[in-house]
Amino acid sequence: MKRAVFVNNRDDVTLEELSLFAGLGYDTVVIALDAGLELVRHAADQFDIDLDGSWLVGRTRDEIEVGLGAGCGTILLDRMGHDPLTRAISDFIAADFADAAAKIVRAGESRPFS
C-alpha cells in the first residue's frame, strides 16, 4: 500500500511544494477536501492508499476533521491564526508546506496518536 499526503486542490500549491512530500516517500494526492470524507476514502480505495500511514494538510477545521475521520495524521497550515479547538484537534501546526514536510519527518513512522 502507498502512503499519501492529501492537500486541497483550491490551495495555491506549487510543484516544488508537492515535491517536498514526494521526497519523503509519499505519494501526494491533491483533492477537493471540501467534498468530504467520502472522496478521501474513494481516493484511498482507488489508489491503494494506507490512510493510517498518510497525512492530510489542511487550512480549515472542516479539512482537519476530514483527515481525522479518515484516520490520517493532520497538519493545520496556520497562517492566519485559528480558534483553539481547530489547533487542538490537529496533530501538528505548520506555517507552510515546507514546515509541514519537516513535521512529517520529525514524526517518523509513528504518528503522535498511533
**What confidence tier does 93 reach under pLDDT thresholds 50, 70, 90?**
very high
For residue range 37-86, list pLDDT tens digits in order. 998 999 999 999 999 999 999 888 889 999 999 999 999 987 667 677 78
Domains and CATH numbers, the chain: 4-106 (3.40.50.1000)
Q: Are 42 and 66 in contact (CB under 8 A)?
A: no
The grid coordinates of residue 21 equal 512530500
- Residues 7-19 have a mean pLDDT of 78
Total-model pTM: 0.85
pLDDT attached to residue 7: 86
